[in-house]
A = this chain, B = another copy of it.
Amino acid sequence: MATRTVYLKDVPFDEAWERFRAALKRANRWDLIEGESVALGEALGRVTAEPVWAKISSPHYHAAAMDGYALRASDTNGANDRAPVQLMDERIEPVDTGDALPDWADAVVPIEVVEVVEDLDKSPGILLRAAVHPWSNVRPMGEDMVATEMILPAGHQLRPVDLGAAAGSGHESLVVRKKPRVAVIPTGSELVPPGTLPRPGEIIEYNSLVLAAQLEDWGAAPSRLPIVRDDPDAIQSAVDEAARRFDLILLNAGSSAGSEDHSAEVVSSLGELLVHGVAIRPGHPVILGIVGDGVPIVGVPGYPVSAALTGEIFVQPLIRRWLGLTESGERQIEAVLTRKVHSSLGDDEYLRVSVGKVGERTVAAPLSRGAGVITSLVRADGIVRIPAGIQGHAAGTPVLVHLYRTPEEIERTILAIGSHDLTLDLIAQHLALRGTRLSSASVGSLGGLVALGRREAHIAGSHLLDPETGEYNLPYIRKHLATTPVMVVGLVRRWQGLIVSPGNPKGIQELADLARDDVVYVNRQRGAGTRVLFDFQISQLGLDPDAIQGYGREEFTHLAVAAAIAAGRADCGMGIQAAAVALGLDFVPLVSERYDLVIPKEHYESELLAPLRETLVSEAFASEVSELAGYDLERPGEVLAELG
């Protein structure tokens, strides 16, 4: 066993950035990156390295602004209805829009306002019933752009119309900032490429994919280099080689203090290790350094969320700096936190949140905080930064969210909470086609009702059986949502039962089997509809929870229960058939239950929910549900009850 050393020491973000910046300045790598000439057809999205001045005027001659006839305005003096003026031969010249005005002409009369006259003896002429003002329907030279005028400033990211203006003012290419060349080097003996079926301990290497895509978005030219094994010499030679060819190196993982973390030692040996550890979460084992001939290197932590955030926090500002882009024009919105959040006093914390507008309030619901949970970034609508020095925020605290989406997308987001069901994924798909997003959080049926009462979501999926009345949902709504008028809307019935290993090796047939010594159960969390159902069923049987092994281990979704069984951590768990089918497990059906949507009245009737109301009664949705194992439609979209 190797001896372990701890040398990671977190410094505050500002200090880390300042050390990096100072070192880049010393190395002459803090300036704007040099320019290169690029043809207009290739320049979309590039950043101008110098102002663009008009080389020629546009129009560069007096141009007809309409299809019609060029003429001398003075020839039309006095024309009116009673005394029309007829012009023929050399006194008119037909012109199309954009044609140069003849030297002798000073106006254009549009084709729509003249009468064409045919005269047997002469060529055709035109009849005018009103005088024409000088310079009318003429685009004078320079109307759009005058030679030497500044058309675009430096540091401007080129849009389609900018390319047109540059071409119109005489350019065929522009000097734009070179794209910074960035090497992305994945390291780790445990890494395998995407598409590989990994063995235990192996990890699919996708951080380089995410980092390269971020770099592309930000205007850099990334190169994903081959995976390097955990060998200091191999890493050192890869970095040394990259330092000769790139403007920036991202060295992924190995930045922590484990026995196979060689990044810090490689950076030290090839240059200067400036920072090893920054007081941010997630992402604190960041390395900042300079190697070779002053090339900056960022040691990016291995956890995917940490890696992506390190990109946003340390790499994006550097790329923008080099390109001469200033503020990122980041969108911010104020929202109210739905849940209490603890935060480390010593670190800046980057909290991923989903965001929606519930009534007049914009709410931010914290997502999973695990640095390994990349789906938390996929689902995130934005980030809340909780600075060091604050221990967290209470529920209801107004916070500033740095949005990943436009405020318009947030306005078109339906927040679903409560018990998760696979039909919600189908609904999400239909809503997307109708321009609306469904963002769901799984907190169990009861948690969903409570959240509706706190006005944190628009709809809640619920399958709560009242043990006393045998009624679904209504008794719970009366108790927990007494003051909120709601509609209960039908959706599906679904089979609940025991999910068991393929072939049901332990021969589990009924709940009584859970008391057996050789059977390990995996439970759902308190408040989940499935948990209520399970507790009701075992109490009917007189089965003591203490007699069930694993009763204390709680999972939060049907699929998590199924996954625990697939992984051999338990022999069975209560859940829906669809979850068993999904993971190739077997299923012992026990009871068919109702799964309804509970929707506060104010939202049910809102425009936001119109696409949901349409989806629920659509034939396409009905046919998709009928293909799911263990499901029956239960008056979908119908209002089953109105309460409050």
CB distance from A264 to the nearest CB of B (A): 13
Complex contact B163–A210 (CB within 8 A): yes
Residues of B within 8 A of A308 (CB): 160-161, 164
Instruction: Answer whether residue A642 sits at the interface, using C-beta atoms and an 8 A cutoff.
Output: no
Complex contact A304–B194 (CB within 8 A): no
Complex contact A209–B167 (CB within 8 A): yes
Interface readout for A35-79 with B: 1 if CB under 8 Å, 0 if not?
Answer: 000001100100000010000111111110101000000000000
Query: What are 21 A-B pairs at a CB distance below 8 A?
Result: A1-B94, A1-B124, A57-B563, A59-B372, A60-B198, A65-B370, A98-B190, A111-B258, A141-B563, A141-B564, A141-B567, A142-B563, A144-B375, A147-B583, A160-B217, A164-B308, A164-B377, A168-B206, A172-B194, A326-B434, A327-B408
Known pairs A1-B124, A583-B147; A99 contacts B40 (CB<8 A): no
Instruction: Answer whether residue A538 sits at the interface, using C-beta atoms and an 8 A cutoff.
Output: no
CB distance from A119 to the nearest CB of B (A): 12
> Which A92-112 residues have C-beta < 8 A from chain B?
94, 96-100, 111-112
Complex contact A148–B204 (CB within 8 A): no
Interface readout for A349-385 with B: 1 if CB under 8 Å, 0 if not?
Answer: 0000000000000000000001011110110000000
C-alpha gap A168/B329 in the complex (Å): 31
CB distance from A424 to the nearest CB of B (A): 10
Complex contact A224–B41 (CB within 8 A): yes
C-alpha gap A89/B152 in the complex (Å): 70
Complex contact A139–B408 (CB within 8 A): no
Give A434's nearest chain B residue, CB to CB. B326
Contact of A3 among B124, B149, B259 (CB under 8 A): B124
Q: How many copies of this chain?
A: 2
CB distance from A211 to the nearest CB of B (A): 8
Which of A425-433, A482-490, A496-504 is the interface stretch? A425-433
C-alpha gap A159/B312 in the complex (Å): 13
Contact of A40 among B60, B173, B194 (CB under 8 A): B194
Complex contact A94–B168 (CB within 8 A): no
Contact of A67 among B212, B258, B408 (CB under 8 A): B258
Complex contact B116–A3 (CB within 8 A): yes
Residues of B within 8 A of A139 (CB): 370, 372
Known pairs A51-B425, A154-B429; A332 contacts B408 (CB<8 A): yes
Q: How many residues of A contact B (CB 8 A)?
A: 132
Complex contact A432–B57 (CB within 8 A): no
Known pairs A331-B408, A372-B139; A96 contacts B259 (CB<8 A): yes
Instruction: Answer whether residue A171 sits at the interface, using C-beta atoms and an 8 A cutoff.
Output: yes
C-alpha gap A449/B151 in the complex (Å): 26
Interface readout for A315-327 with B: 1 if CB under 8 Å, 0 if not?
Answer: 0000000001011
Complex contact A44–B213 (CB within 8 A): yes
Instruction: Answer whether residue A559 sits at the interface, using C-beta atoms and an 8 A cutoff.
Output: yes
CB distance from A114 to the nearest CB of B (A): 9
CB distance from A371 to the nearest CB of B (A): 8
Give A196's nearest chain B residue, CB to CB. B172
Instruction: Answer whether residue A201 sits at the interface, using C-beta atoms and an 8 A cutoff.
Output: yes
Known pairs A51-B425, A326-B435; A98 contacts B203 (CB<8 A): yes
Complex contact A168–B304 (CB within 8 A): yes
Instruction: Answer whether residue A6 sits at the interface, using C-beta atoms and an 8 A cutoff.
Output: yes
Interface readout for A152-181 with B: 1 if CB under 8 Å, 0 if not?
Answer: 111110011111110110111100000000
Contact of A41 among B162, B209, B256 (CB under 8 A): B209
Residues of B within 8 A of A111 (CB): 4, 6, 257-258
* Beyond known contacts A164-B377, A172-B194: 6 more, CB 8 A cutoff: A96-B261, A97-B302, A146-B563, A163-B210, A165-B374, A167-B194
Name which of A62, A146, A170 has the most chain B CB atoms within 10 A of its CB.
Answer: A146
Give A404's nearest chain B residue, CB to CB. B159
CB distance from A550 to the nearest CB of B (A): 12
